[in-house]
Amino acid sequence: MSPDSDDRSALSWFFTGMRGLVSLPALILLTSIVGFSAFALESGLTRAEAVFMSLAIWALPAQVILIGSMASGANIAACFLAVTLSSIRMTPMVASIIPEMRTKRTPIWALLILSHFIAITSWVFAITTMRNVPRQHRAIYFAGFGVTLTLTGTLVVAVFYGIASSFPPVVAGVLFFLTPVYFIASIWASARQPVVKLAFVMGVALGPLLALVTPEFDVLYAGIGGGTIAYLIDRSRRRKKRMVKGAAR
């Protein structure tokens, strides 16, 4: 792909996005969804409920949190709050990707629909490949990948629900564990600024400690706390750098 390939049609770019389904990020996610299918079955969800959850929520961690909240006997309000808080992490992803897809002719309703398909896998895929797509075709390119990935993931849930119950628990657990392993590796690899990696390290370091103090909100506090500390450190570093440059002049 080349940024100068403006002669291709929008449909052609849509199919190019669809081909992203055979990329490593997509394949790892789909493999992890097989493990989720077993988890949904063991938690008492019907096939229809698991399929609807995949379409409506899509982000795999949020689905796991919802099932875990339901299994623990939490009420609807608590489940809603847990899923909402876990999905807040998508806001920076949406804020970073949507401007890359938007043009003066892109309708707002299309961007709102596409935002539903933004999760870690689609974000990593888009952030690493979209720069090679002409701006006027980026929305349709992302739609080709995001919609195809979501529908395929939902189909995997429908097909493997029940089949996954025959897997040994260790196998199902390993399949499901592939997702966080990939997320960690991909976020680190896609970080363009040192502050992002610093925030990641701070969050990982704070997570186990906060799990002992506030196990209900450890991920939330680790994310907010780690990000804030990283931001303050990076801000101080930039200020000192400017001061040194100013003194040198």
Domain tally, the chain:
2
Report the distance separating Cα 102 and Cα 97, nearest Å.
Answer: 9
Higher pLDDT, 45 or 216: 45
Q: Is the dihedral of CA 100, 104, 110, 112 positive or negative?
A: positive
- Please indicate, yes or no, whether residues 199 and 177 belong to a single structural domain of this protein: no
Is residue 1 situated within a structural domain?
no
How far is residue 13 CA from its own chain's centroid? 22
Q: Which of these ranges, 34-43, 50-59, 113-122, has the smallest mean pLDDT?
A: 34-43
pLDDT value of position 147:
94
Please provide the distance, in angstroms rounded to a whole number, between the alpha carbons at the two ends of the chain: 44
Q: Is residue 25 part of a domain?
A: yes
Question: Of 155, 170, 190, which residue is a domain's last?
Answer: 190
109 shares its domain with 200: no
Residues 249 and 167 in one domain: no
Is residue 157 located within the same domain as residue 231? no
Give the pLDDT of residue 3.
Answer: 46
At 79, the pLDDT band (50, 70, 90 cuts) reads confident
- 128 and 244 in a single domain? The answer is no
- The whole-number average pLDDT for the span 218-234 is 83
H-type alpha helices, 72-119: 76-87, 90-101, 108-115
Q: Are residues 35 and 152 in the same domain?
A: yes
Bigger pLDDT: 16 or 170? Answer: 16
pTM: predicted TM-score of the whole model, two decimal places: 0.72
| Residue 36 contacts residue 159 (beta carbons within 8 Å) | no
Task: Using alpha carbons, list the distances in angstroms from residue 227 to 17, 185, 202, 224.
Answer: 32, 18, 7, 5
- Boundaries of domain holding 27: 10-190
Half-sphere exposure of 191 (CA within 13 A, CB side): 15
CB 121 within 8 A of CB 149: yes
Is 4 inside any structural domain? no
